[in-house]
Structure 1
Amino acid sequence: MGDISAERRRILESPPPELVAQAAENPGGSVAVIDPEFIGDPNGYVPGEAVQGVWVVGEDGKLTGEFVENPNYGPPKDDFAKLTDSQHWLGWLAERPDVAVRDSIARILDGQVPGAVLEWIKVLDDPRYFTGGRRDPEDPQRVTVTRAGIALRFALSVTSPGHAREVLQGVFTWAAVSLDQPRGRKDRVWLDLRVDLDWAETQLRERIYLVGQDPAPGSN
């Protein structure tokens, strides 16, 4: 990436017009410096690690010359905290829900574009859940879970042979039925791009009843 400090000196000596314009639009704030190596569309999702740091802007809308480095700058990493820190029961999913979700998404991407590599994925919001079951007729307080599902909004980076890096956003949905019958259990997953979590939650409540039927195009 070259001598970053020397590059900053050059920028201060002769600030590019776009930096000057951004500073003017953010008096008293800051302007982020993003490493293009770690992103896809510059107008799309930018992982925190891709930000090298920020130029501090004075109240007059001009650069002060101060640059604050981002201590987390570097290759983006997976972030499943909003999934793994959840108090919701995920025993139906896997012993390691994060690994199960990542592996499933990686398979979907590779299935769509052979050779695709999932570089990193971040869960952006608290997931939405669906859990269904039946009550024990002899003990109404006891419920046996028979079906469950999860929808989580993500951002991810994928590379594939002959294609530039893409940073995608969407919702991954996983539904499973017959959880009370291990040998009869059936699972199905969906990867929907450019959709919101409210839409996906509504779809989850419908899709969970499709599990076990012939999959539709675009699902797995």
Structure 2
Amino acid sequence: MGRFGLGARRRGIPKEPALLAAAAENPGGSVAEIDARYLDDPNGYVPPEAIRGAWLVDSNGKLTGEYEENPHHGVPQDDFSKLTDPDHWLGWLGDDPAAAVRMGIEESLRAQVADAVVEWVKILETPRFLTGMRRHSEDDDQIMLVTRAALAAPFALSVRAAQHGRSILLGVFSWAAVNLAPPGLRRDRHWFDLGAGLDWAGERLEERIYEIDGEDSTTER
């Protein structure tokens, strides 16, 4: 794993068997110290903020006694930078695309568990985007109108519910919208594919965006 911080401070060499075994499996690297308050399974997805720091390991798989603290350790936060940083038009999601996608994710979860509360969401890779356009008029090749759009965004998130406690989920959230330009009535649909990969979801964007063209409801989320 990567190292945290610009410098290390000496804390002695701990004797925990699990830590020593992990060090032996990572010669020349480091072993993370996980803050269990923020997740239940340290072997699953670990948000960067849940890492307290890392013990450094020498080339022989032995702890050096040096420990690098993670300056970002704390309560995990939302991270939608991989959605919003790419130079791709997201106006169809409104003034705050990150908030819109987060709300869509939470609505998808609450459709399954009514009292689900999302603690944090992280978009893990640049989403796949799909945009369809048409000319404004037959005589004008310069003005194009966006008629349909879609995205598939891979995520990790933490959700709490009274009956189930906390769960950390991985998957892809997809959103397609059609009839974005008059005279049609806009229709939206969300897909929440747990355990899916971005390639799989991205390949289905085009069929999904056309799938909702013939639906009767004006909005489905």
Q: TM-score, normalised by structure 2?
A: 0.88
How much does 1:40 deviate? Answer: 3.4
* Partner residue, 1:63: 63
* Runs ≥4 residues deviating over 3 A: none
In the alignment, the residues of structure 1 paired with residue 71 and residue 216 of structure 2 have an alpha-carbon distance, to the nearest angstrom, of: 49
- In structure 1, the partner of 2:160 is 159
Counting helix residues as a fraction of each chain, which structure ranks higher?
Answer: 1
Measured after TM superposition, the shift of residue 214 of structure 1 is 6.4
Tell me if 1:201 matches 2:208: no
> Deviations along 1:61-117, whole A, 9 cap, x unmatched?
211111111000011000000111121011111110000011111111122111110
State which drifts further: 179-188 or 55-64.
179-188
- Cα distance between partner residues in 1 of 2:64 and 2:190: 50
For residues 68 and 150 of structure 1, the distance between their equivalents in structure 2, rounded to whole angstroms, comes to 38
Decide whether the 8 Å contact of 2:116 with 2:159 is kept in 1. Answer: yes
Q: Deviations over 1:158-215 (max 9, x none)?
A: 0100223111011111111111127711111111010111111111110111225269
Structure 2: distance between partners of 1:214 and 1:161 = 35
Q: Give CA deviations for 1:124-162 in whole Å, capped at 9, x if unaligned.
A: 001111111212311223221111111110000001002
Counterpart position of 1:145? 146
Q: Which moved more, 1:30-39 or 1:70-79?
A: 30-39
**1:41–1:166: 8 Å Cα contact kept in structure 2?**
no
Q: Could you tell me whether the CA contact under 8 Å between 2:13 and 2:64 is conserved in 1? A: no
How many residue pairs get aligned? The number is 208
Distance of 2:159 and 2:55 partners within structure 1: 30
RMSD, aligned CA: 2.0
Q: Which residue is 1:120 aligned to?
A: 120
TM-score of the superposition, structure 1-length normalised?
Answer: 0.88
In structure 2, how many angstroms separate the alpha carbons of the residues matched to 1:183 and 1:105? 26
5+ long unaligned stretches in structure 2:
1-9
Structure 1: 5+ residue stretches without partners: 1-7
Paired with 2:65 and 2:183, the residues of 1 have a C-alpha distance of 63
- In structure 1, how many angstroms separate the alpha carbons of the residues matched to 2:86 and 2:106? 22
